[in-house]
Structure formats: C-alpha cells, structure tokens
Structure 1
Amino acid sequence: MQDDLYSMQRQQVLHHPVFSWPGLGAWSFYFLLKVALVTQGMLELQLLWNFSLFTFLVLPVHIRGLKVVRQLIALAAATALLYSESNLPPFDRLLDQWDLIRTFSARYLFELLARLVPLEWVAGFLISCILYLYLAKFLRMTTITLAALLSVALWSGVGPEPIAGTQLVNTNGAAQQTGAAGTQAAQTPAQILQDFYQAQRQQTLTAPPVTTPAFDILMLNVCSVSWSDLEAFDMLEHPFLKRADIMFTNYYSGSSYSGPSTLRLLQASCGHRPHKDIFMPIPSCNIAHQLASLGYSPEIRMNHTGSFDNYLTELQQLGGLQDAPFVNPKRFPITMESFDQSSIFSDYAILEDWLNTRTSEPEFTFYNTTSLHDGNQLNGFTGVSRNSYKQRLQTMLDDFNRLFNEIEESGKAVLVVMVPEHGAGLAGDRFQLPGMREIPTPSLTHVPVMLKLFGPGIAQKAELEPIEVTQTTSSLAITEAIYGIIEQAPFSGGLYQPEVVARNLPETRPVAENSGVVMMEYEGTFYIRIKDGAWRPYDN
C-alpha cells in the first residue's frame, strides 16, 4: 500500500509543470541533419546558438498561444542560423546584388537553383526523413540529439590555429623578416595584410622616358577562364597557349569579379590597393593615362554592350578610359545570348575589324570578352550553359589563334597581352556553388597571362618555347612587362629580349578581394576573412 502511494506521489511530482519538460519533437530532425552536414564539411556549427535554440525549444510552455509564438520564433531563428552556418554568401550581399540577379534569364535562374539543390541532395533528404520517422517510433530522439550536439562540441576545434611569425614578400621578390636581429615576430593575418598594403603603397610605376613607341598594344581581357578551367576541360595544350613570348604561370588577378579585376589591371601602377580604394582612382596610376603620355590613343572594344553592372561606365570613369572611343559591337554577328538575355557578339569578327582599321598612330586597345561567362547560351545549343563551356572555350582560343596568324601575315607591329579577369569556377567547392564567385578562391584568381610581340624581325621567335614567369605576380608585373618591352624599342633600333623582361618582374604576395571578402596566401596556405570576421584557413 505504501509502495503504491509512493509511486503515485512520484508520478505527480515528475509530471508537475516544474519538472515536465517537453521533447524537441520534429526539431530533432533539424539538429541531427545539421550534425550530419557538419561531418561532411558542409556546415560550421555555431554551438552556442544551437544549444540556445535547443534550450528555447524544450522549456516548458503550457499556454497554447505561447507555444505557437515559440514555434514561429524558432522557425525564423533556425532558418537564419542555418544560413549563417552554411557557406552561402552573406545575406546582405545577396540583397545588394538583387538588382543584378533579377536581370538573369529564367533559364539561368533555373540552372542556378538546380546547382543550389542538386537532385542527389533531395534524394538524401527524403531518405533521411523516412529513416528519422522510423527511428522516432522507438527511440528517444531528443536524447540522441543532445548527445549528437555534445559530441560535436567535444570533438570540434576552436577555429584555425593562431598564425605565428611570417615572412613578408615585397614586390622585388626579396623576403624580409618581420622581427629584429633575424628573429621572426608573431603576427596576426590582419597585421600581415596591413603590412602588405603598406608595402604596395610604395610601389609606383611611371611610363618609361622614351619617344613614341612604334607598335600598338592590344589587351585581351577575358572573362571566366583560369588554369583550373583549362585543366578541367583539357585545354592546357591548346596551340594558342604555346605561342606566348612570356607566360605568367603563377599570376593572381586580385578579384573574382569582372569590374574590380579589370580596374586592378588598369590601375596597377600604384600596386595592390584595398578593395574600396579602387573605386577612388588616382589618375596617375592608370596605364591608359601613362600610355597617353607616350602618344598612345586609347580605344575600347567588347563583344557585349557593357551595360551589365555598369561595366563600360566603370571602365570610362574609374579605369582611365574616359577619352577612349567605344566601338559599338552591335554591327557584328551575334554568337550567343548572355546570362542577362543580352546579345554576345563574335570575338573574331570584332578583332578582325580591329586589325583592319589600324592607323599610323600607336593605339592602346582594351578588348573585353564575356563569351565564357556562366549562363551564356550558344545559338542552337540545348541544355545548361555549363555543358557548352568547353565548346565556347575552344572557339574563343581558336579565334585568338586565328587572330595571331593574321597579325603575323599583316606584318604589323603589335604587342598582345592576354589577361583573364577571373575563372569560371564551374566545379565549385564546399565554400561556393558552381559558377558563383563571391569568394575569390585560388581556382578563380589563378589565371594564365601571356604576352606576344609581333612585327618585323620578331617572326623567327614564333617557334621558341614561352618564357615562364613562375614567381607569384599581380597586375603590377603586367604593366612592368609592357613598359620593359617599350624601353627595349624593338622596332626603333633596339633588341627585343623577352627573357630580360621576364627576369626583372616584381613578385607579389597573392591577395584577392571582393566586397567584404579577402583571400590571402601565407606560407603556402590560403586564409580567408569574410565581413571583418575571423581569419580561417581556406580548405576546399
């Protein structure tokens, strides 16, 4: 009788509101799914906020209206938390880009959605749901969820290890110790970056003191091709890439977006500046202004209208090309439809027109092509744009190679500089969706750069192997190379020696930036910082 009374009293106490705590219910699936994603390296769990949400959900609430309010608050908090733990771009960045995103074609938006949520993920999610519903019938899922979160807390690290002493590499390739008397002083990544900016501020190039050069300069600024892309699509052996006099094999473009990358190329004479500073140009730093002082007339050509993201306007207002006439591409054949539903015109037709309209005065022509941009749709091609990338890349390289042949046959003196803006990134990684370029990863910013000089007396060098520049370089080295060739005066009695030009180029630490994102190399490892947050190793 006493035992029965004790049991009854015990049950009453345990079911008292003070002790009766609810389980997570279906929320257990949310937390367990996140733990599974953490094991695959697809999420970085913010343990404090997850335990806070866990506690919020299991606190006893006995008023029905409050239960509903709690579920609504939890749903909003859980969604925001999951997004912040993912490797997706910061949400405010998505809002900033909304005006551009809404110009994308419906076909391209659908393609991006398919990349965001692959069919394999959908199948895995459905299987996980079924498995959870089955196990929940006879297991205490709240207890299992708590154990899973605690195991993540016990086994997860506390972030990247602090960075100790380092060597700063200045632009002439010499390594300088950061401590005194040969010792290395411990530095944070932020300090290393600030030292890099300070060193770059000391780098200034000016046009060489020579008379008007006797050759034109054609700068081919290519959107969406990197060394990774060339390798992924078996184009490393394309004949065009073998025709360089000088090939930069370890060049970093400084950004993974077209506008900033192009501005860095055109403003290179003042070194690598912080991202926000490139939108406050110093006229004396622009290569177009410096070349104008030597007698070069500027010209802008593109195989697109330049309206997307105000690209043409940026070139003119921030790139030092405000006085350059723009050759409207609309009179040339259309080869494809762009990701924003505008027309893309023939690279070869535009460049052939350039060659046929050369004047007696030296010209600096800036040519930008978006033939390889993600989302472009070839005329007559069915399927997603990613599947046509190899065909578009082959065509563009063939067009460039054909242009080289015609320049040689013309006998005209021309220096061609091919500089990609960034890669296509069609493989993606755990930080970034395929085709997206929010984070300036090495696979996006490590791009091939080549220089080739044509003209009387230069043809015999065509069969020679390219001279490789293997040290890490930036756009500063490209401007230096152009000026080095001008100083040699190859068509005015001087001797063209590309090996001498390549030997004297400055070395620069790889640093790449977009708005709110910095990627920096340190002792062979790349580190990333997003929105002034903590630095962490970039491990794709």
Structure 2
Amino acid sequence: MTNQTSSAPASASGWQYWRGLSGWNYYFLLKFGLLWTGYLNFHALDNLVFMAFLLFPIPNRNLHRLRHWLALPVGFALFWRDTWLPGPQSLVSQGSQIAGFSSDYIFDLITRFINWQMVGAAFVLLVAWLFLSQWLRVTVFVVAIMLWLNVLTLTGPVISLWPAGQNAAATVTATGGGADNTVARASTGGALVSGDIPAQDGPPTTANLNAWLSSFYASEAKRQTPLPASLPADAQPFELLVINICSLAWSDVEATGLMNHPLWSHFDIVFKNFNAGTSYSGPAAIRLLRASCGQPSHKNLYQPAGEACYLFDNLEKLGFTQHLMMDHNGLFGDFLKEVRDFGGMKAPLMNQADLPVNLLSFDGSPVYNDTAVLNRWLEQEGRDNTKSSATFFNMLPLHDGNHFPGNSKPADYKLRAQKLFDELDAFLTQIEKENRRVMVVIVPEHGAALQGDRMQVSGLRDIPSPAITHVPVGVKFVGMKAPHQGSAIEIDQPSSFLAISELVARSVDGKNFVADRVDWDALTKNLPQTAPVSENANAVVIQYQGKPYVRLSGGDWVPYPQ
C-alpha cells in the first residue's frame, strides 16, 4: 500500500516536466513559413537538435527558465545561419568597407530588408498561433513537422513539400532545383556540353558538385590564349579601349527598359551569355586584367599568376602603350591598389584634375562626368595615331548608393543608366565620325542586383547569383575600311574573359582595320567557352545540368532558389 501511494505522485511529477516549446513554437512556425516560400537555407538537423534542447525535461523551474534565456542567442544565431544573409566571415572581411558608407546609404540598405508583406504575414501567423494554442497542443504539430523535414533530408522528398512550381531553397531538396533562364545553356537546352567544359555526369549531390568544381578549376588552370611573340611588319596601329562598368547586368537592363537603347546598335559583336565570375568590383577587375588565362578560384586571384595571364602586359610587350583611366579615385576597397598588385596594371592613373563631378559615391567621394573623362582620353590619345595603345577604363556611375551633389538620397538607377547609355552612344558616334581606329570592348564588372531575389535584397551582392553575374558584353571596331554591316553578331555560347582575350589576340595585328573584306566568321568562330562559375570569398554559384546551385562558406550545395 505504501509503495503504491509513493509511486503515483512520482509518475505524475515525471510527466509535468515535459512543458512543451511554449513561445518557441512561434519561432519554428515562422521558420517553416519562410522555408515554404523559399527564403531559408534550412539546416534540418541543427534545428532538430536545438528543438530537443528546448524540450528536454528539467525538474527545476528556475533552471528551466534559465534555459530559455540561454536559448535566445543560440536561436538568433541559428535563425541567421538558416537565412541567406552574409555570414560572420563576410561581415568581418567587409567591415572596413561598410564603415566607409555614408549614414544615409546605410539607412537605405537597412530599409530594404523590411518586407512589409512578410511582416504582415508574420503577424497573422502570430495571431493564429495564439488563437489555436488555446485548444491545440501546437508543440506536437511543430515536432512532427521537424521530424518530417529531417526524414526528408535522409530519404529525399516522397511528397512535395513546396507549392507548385516552387523550388526549395533548403538542404532537404538537394536533388531538386529549378532552371534559371538568365544563365547560359548549351544549344541543346540541357547540361552544358563543350570541349572546354568538364562533363556534368551524375546526380547533383554535394560530393558530385564539389568534384565537378575541382575539375573545372583544374581544367581552367591549363587554359590560355597567348598573344603572338611579335607583330608582323605590316601590322596596323589601333587603340584598344576596354570599358569596365560597375553594376550592369542583363537583368538590370531589362528592369530599366533599356534593351532597345540606340547604344546596342553600335556593336559588331554582343556576348549574350557572358559570366563575370564575381559580384564585387576588385575581383571583377582582376579577372578582366588576367583575361589571357583560364578562370581561377577567388582565392587564387590574390596569388601571383603566370606572366602570360596579364592581358595588358602582353599587349605592352607588343608595343601597345598602357593607360589607366577611372571616373573615381579608386580608394574605396583599395580598388586601385588591387588593380595594380593583382591585375598587373602599371600605367599611372590618367589626370583627373578639373574634371566636373557628376555624382557622389556611396562613401562621399566624387564620381566624375564620364563624357568629360572620355573627351580627355580622346584629346590625349589623339596626339599620336601612329602607335597602338591599350586603355583600361573603370566606371562607377551605376553603383548602388550613388547620389547627386546636395542630395543625400540615392539617385534613381534608371536615370543614371539612361545617362550613361546616352554618353556611351554619343562617344561611339563621335569616334565613328572621326574614323579613329579603335577596338572598343564594354565589359561590366557585375550587375546591380536591382530587383533582388529570395536570397538577397536589392543591392546586396554577397552571393554572386546568376542575375548579377550574367552581364552584357559588346565589341565595336571603329575606323574599319570594311565595317560590319547589319545587326550585331551574337555569341550565345557560355563565355567569360578568356573569350575576350582570344578576340583581342585575333585582332592584335590591326589588319582588320585596313582589310577590303573582314572574315567575321573566322574572327568570332570557336571562341573559348567557359562554364558559368561565380565566386566570392564565402559563396560559390555554379550551373550544373542546366540548374544553378549555391554553396555558402564551404557548406553543402543547395539549389539556388527561384
């Protein structure tokens, strides 16, 4: 009798220690909602462990309460990790640059993270949870969903968790992913097929994607488009002008309605599927200046490269005078230093004295009027047309956060893009009238992320998404005896900087400028192809079997959310 009365209270006391998730139910329901809509890079096992920590019964009520306080920073860190937001490494590496932003620009960036529709949906979810928790043990449903997600991680989805047409942005769907219309594909419409590109066999598992990326970089390390050791005696002098525009991708051109701008009618050659390989200015400029070798990893960009890799150095050895021109001071992010140290650009910066200021940059530094900069180049280069020259011109008017003097509000992107396109159109028209022998190559650094996506808000470029790295590249030969007729030749194959180097190598003797007939097919046929691989310090985006995948901070590959 005594044993019976003593065991009953112990049993009841044991059950009461399972107190449920309480307010943490809303935390997990919010995550499930974001996962459903593709806004999370959900780590199922980590969340299950965190849930188990919250559920584990603790008899002492004070220790139970202490656990909830200790769980707050852990929950915040886990939530951050489950999002696509930049990680601590990225924030630390760019801390000095962020410190250079103006206060108005920082405030503008913060407001972009506020999605009022999502705030409203989160409030509705909160009310629904508070209402239903009066009658239902919500913890039971939350735990069941979490267990289901973990089962899907191990077995793959048997029943689709996502809305129709929505690709999951989570590790639980690592075998899925949707095609991206803006990324280069082979003409067959399926997996990339080219002798320049490693085969993409096998399912898109993390192991297979890591192996393919390694084979890509190994293959690229062997590729090169060397320029000739010397020019023939009958070589013709001309000017090469490479215009490197910050923050311009095809997606930005489409968003601003500038696809039919007269600028496009000037080009002889347009690369429709060109991949910039990065979403930041310094690495983009280095990749362009090292165009004569295959695509290196982000880490190897900051290691010495072979002498044959530096395009402008190669041209200088052939007698081209090297020039450097910018419409900004190049101090932010040590851009000018990186161009010199890692891009091999030796030429002094062209004189910027007395240039009119068109905009103020996001850090308050001047952005000079590009027409004035180009006119100064015309004046200085026009003094001697018997020598060849190669000029690298970096432009900043489209960068996020630029504003007009006297107005701290960021200037409208479309207004700035329209002005830049008008200026470039007028410049090309002018040199055409002057009949100067100029090979103009316009290569954007990266896009502006004007529209943003599920991974990044507008203007954020920590992850080099296809919409950011898929940039328009145009080539114009001015001053030809037999200029190209008709619409531009479109290069649809997946291309990158190696194709530009090859095009320059095929034109370096200048004979096309004086030829009675130019073989445009020979000039543009069989240019090197490069698979769309883009990389920043903490993020890599590749296209595998026609679908984009992303890897953050060396973790697992997941389908890029569409």
The answer for the alignment partner of 2:194 in structure 1 is 169
Residue aligning to 1:54 = 51
2:166: which partner in 1?
none
Task: Please give the residue correspondences for 1:244-323 in structure 2 after superposition, counting only pairs within 5 Å.
Answer: 244-282=267-305, 283-322=307-346
Q: Residues 114 and 465 (structure 1 numbering): CA distance in 2 closer, same or farther, change over 3 Å?
A: same
Q: Structure 1 residues 286, 100: closer, same or farther in 2, change over 3 A? A: same
Deviation at 1:422, TM superposition (A): 0.6
> What is the correspondence of 1:78-97 to structure 2 with a 5 Å cutoff?
78-97=75-94
Unpaired segments of 5 or more residues in structure 1?
180-185
* Contact 1:223-1:368 within 8 A present in 2 as well: yes
Of the three residues 47, 63, 82, the one matched with 1:66 is 63
Flag the 1:16–1:473 CA change in 2: closer, same or farther, 3 A: same
Question: So what's the TM-score if we normalise by structure 2?
Answer: 0.86
Residue of structure 1 equivalent to 2:214: 194
Structure 1 residue 17: Cα displacement: 4.5
Secondary structure of the structure 2 residue equivalent to 1:270 = coil
Q: Which residue of 2 aligns with 1:448?
A: 472
In structure 2, give the amino acid aligned to 1:285. Answer: C
Distance 1:206 1:264 in 2: 16
Q: Which has the higher contact order (CA 8 A, sep 6+)?
A: 2
Aligned to 1:372: 398
Please give the residue correspondences for 1:60-459 in structure 2 after superposition, counting only pairs within 5 Å: 60-63=57-60, 65-153=62-150, 157=156, 158-161=172-175, 169-171=194-196, 188-208=208-228, 209-211=230-232, 213-282=236-305, 283-322=307-346, 324-358=347-381, 359-360=383-384, 361-379=387-405, 383-385=409-411, 388-455=412-479, 457-458=481-482
1:47, CA displacement in angstroms? 2.6
**2:161 corresponding residue in structure 1:** none
**8 Å Cα contact 2:444-2:471 kept in structure 1:** yes
Counterpart contact for 2:278–2:469, Cα < 8 Å: yes
Once the two structures are superposed, residues 195-234 of structure 1 have per-residue CA deviations (whole angstroms, 9 ceiling, x without a partner) of 2222222222222331464111111000111111111111
* Structure 1 counterpart of 2:539, from 498, 501, 517: 517
What's the offset of the Cα at 1:384? 4.6
Q: Which amino acid aligns with 1:294?
A: L
Alpha carbons 2:225, 2:505 under 8 Å: kept: no
AA aligned to 1:438 is D
Q: 1:131 to 1:85 in 2, by over 3 A?
A: same
Q: CA deviation at 1:169?
A: 2.8
Q: Secondary structure at the match of 1:298?
A: strand
Structure 2: distance between partners of 1:328 and 1:72? 59
Once the two structures are TM-superposed, the CA of residue 149 in structure 1 deviates from its matched residue by 2.6
3-state SS of the aligned residue for 1:249? strand
Counterpart CA distance in 1 for 2:192 and 2:363 is: 44
Structure 2 matches for 1:499-510, cutoff 5 A?
Answer: 499-510=521-532
Q: Distance in 2 between matches of 1:43 and 1:8?
A: 51
What is the CA-CA distance between 1:343 and the residue it aligns to? 1.5
CA distance in 1, matches of 2:92, 2:267: 42
SS at match of 1:392: helix
Q: Secondary structure at the match of 1:198?
A: helix
1:426 to 1:330, Cα distance in 2 relative to 1, 3 A:
farther
Shift of 1:57: 2.0
C-alpha separation in 2, matches of 1:339 and 1:110: 12
AA of the residue aligned to 1:465: S
* Alpha-carbon separation, structure 1, partners of 2:419 and 2:4: 83
Secondary structure at 1:99 match in 2: helix
- 1:100 deviates by 0.8
Distance, in Å, in 2 between the alignment partners of 1:236 and 1:444 is 17
Q: Give structure 2 stretches of 5+ with no counterpart.
A: 157-171, 178-189
Query: Could you tell me whether the CA contact under 8 Å between 1:351 and 1:403 is conserved in 2?
Result: yes
2-structure distance, mates of 1:127, 1:67: 29
Structure 1 residues 176-205: Cα deviation after superposition (integer angstroms, max 9, x where no partner):
7989xxxxxx98222222222222222222
1:345 is displaced (CA, Å) by 1.1
Task: Output aligned runs, 1:34-45, within 5 Å.
Answer: 34-45=31-42
Structure 2 counterpart SS, 1:472: coil
Query: What CA distance in whole angstroms lies between the structure 2 residues aligned with 1:451 and 1:362?
Result: 18
Distance 1:328 1:307 in 2: 15
Q: Quick check: 76-85 or 124-133, which moved more?
A: 124-133
- Which residue in the other structure is 2:159 paired with? none
Whole-angstrom CA distance in 1 between matches of 2:302 and 2:309: 13
Cα distance, 1:493 vs structure 2 = 5.6
Structure 1 contact 488–496 (Cα < 8 Å) conserved: no
CA-atom RMSD, angstroms? 2.9
- Name the aligned partner's letter for residue 144 of structure 1: F
Kindly tell me: are residues 160 and 152 of structure 1, through their superposed partners in 2, closer, same or farther at Cα, counting changes over 3 Å? Answer: closer
